Amino acid sequence: MLKLIGAGMGRTGTESLRSALLHLGYSRCHHMYEISDDHSLLGAWFHIAKTGQLPDWHQVFQEFDAQTDWPGAVFWRELSAAFPDAKVVLTVRDFEAWHESILNTIAPKLRDRHLVTDARVRARLEMANTLVNERLFDGQIENPAVAKPVFLQHIETVKETISPERLLVLDVAEGWEPLCQFLDVIQPDAPFPRKNTSSGFSVSEGRK
Write down the domain spans for the chain. 4-95+154-199
Q: Is 68 helix (H, G, I), strand (E, B) or coil?
A: coil
Residue 197's pLDDT is 62
CATH (one of 3.90.226.10, 3.40.630.10, 3.40.50.300, 3.40.1830.10) for 4-95+154-199: 3.40.50.300
Which tens digits make up the pLDDT trace of 85-139? 999 999 999 999 999 999 999 999 999 999 999 999 999 999 999 999 999 999 9
Cβ proximity of 40 and 120 under 8 Å: no
Residue 58's pLDDT is 97
Q: Which stretches of the chain are assigned E, i.e. beta strand? A: 4-6, 29-30, 66-67, 87-91, 167-170
Cβ proximity of 89 and 9 under 8 Å: no
DSSP 52: -
Which tens digits make up the pLDDT trace of 155-164? 999 999 999 9
